[in-house]
Copies of this chain bind each other. A is one copy, B any other.
Amino acid sequence: MSATATGWLLTAVAETSSEGSTDHASERLANEPVQPIAPYQSEHPEKVELGKKLFFEPRLSRSGFISCNSCHNLSRGGTDNLPTSIGHNWQEGPINSPTVLNAGLHMAQFWDGRAATLQEQAAGPIDNPMEMAYTHTLAIEVLRSIPAYVDMFEAVYATRDIGIDHVTDAIAEFEETLVTPNSRFDQWLRGDDSAITADELAGYETFKSIGCVACHYGEALGGKDFHRMGLVHEYLTENPSQGRFEATGEERDRFSFKVPSLRNVERTYPYFHDGAVWTLAEATEIMAYLQLGRELPQADIDNMVAFMRTLTGEQPQITLPQLPPSTENTPQPVPFERE
């Protein structure tokens, strides 16, 4: 956690004295394996605003139709709520689109962790022929042809010579702001005992005692490790992904995936890297069986689902950006291929 976030946390804890003592809150924060999410205050608001425009910019795609927000829809928990995504020319994506919310809290990006940073991730979909199907060169040419964009890049990066690294840096900075603080569970972590119910608390206790928390811990309840999907029992899927093996080539990484965050998990269905499961109850039952070898009573599942619903935080409030119009020099979109 950054120094700023820690500072915010201590202030927040100090303010909980009406609900519980500061000691009570400090003790809980020190002992629980989950930490509250801190709001993200960017020191570069102009960069964030530029990044927001680019996040919603369909002209970064060959068709002029697909933007980052198409598959990481900020109206829908930062996902498309589809098993796998729709790409250029309605191609079927290979894997479930992970949420962009709180992604900055993860150690790496993509299910296989092949991008170390948000910036590195942002470059991927633009020129992936299955996704936005463009080239970095053409995407840059689009932006350079639009004076309003050139001015914005100059204000942020002090150059009119826009490059792909500027584009991905701005998108990444916008994405850093997409955190979801102040969930009911975070209120509880900060000492407010009344923020969650007895059933929800019981669900959290089960979540810890049976071992879910071994992978789903930290601010994001996930995003900190890779683990094999199907640890005790094999996971049967038609999805061909080999997981982290595809990034490292190491045999031990086969079927290993980045642990997904459980933040806002009630909004990020369907679940797993193949998007095969639609309900939290089913996902919970399956994970307990596959990873921990447990067959849980329904009451435990119900409570754990209730607990997971307390992880929905404040969704980022986004004012829809206004994108500057193309000029006669802007490369035209190619929505349909002609022979």
Contacts and interface: CB of A to CB of B under 8 A. Distances in A.
A65 B63 CA distance: 16
Contact of A75 (B63, B65, B278, B322): B322
Nearest to A90: B90
A111 interface: no
A307 B323 CA distance: 21
A73 B321 CA distance: 11
Determine the interface band of chain A, counting residues with CB < 8 A from chain B: 35 or more
A315 B319 CA distance: 12
A64 B80 contact: yes
Of the candidates A63, A278, A320, A332, the one having the most CB atoms from chain B within 10 angstroms of its own CB is A320
Interface string A315-333: 1011111110110100011
Interface in A284-326: 315, 317-323, 325-326
Number of copies: 2
A36 interface: no
A279 interface: yes
B86 A63 contact: yes
A81 B267 contact: no
Interface in A69-111: 70, 73-77, 80-83, 86, 89-90, 92
Interface of A: 56, 58, 63-65, 70, 73-77, 80-83, 86, 89-90, 92, 266-267, 269, 278-279, 315, 317-323, 325-326, 328, 332-333, 335-336
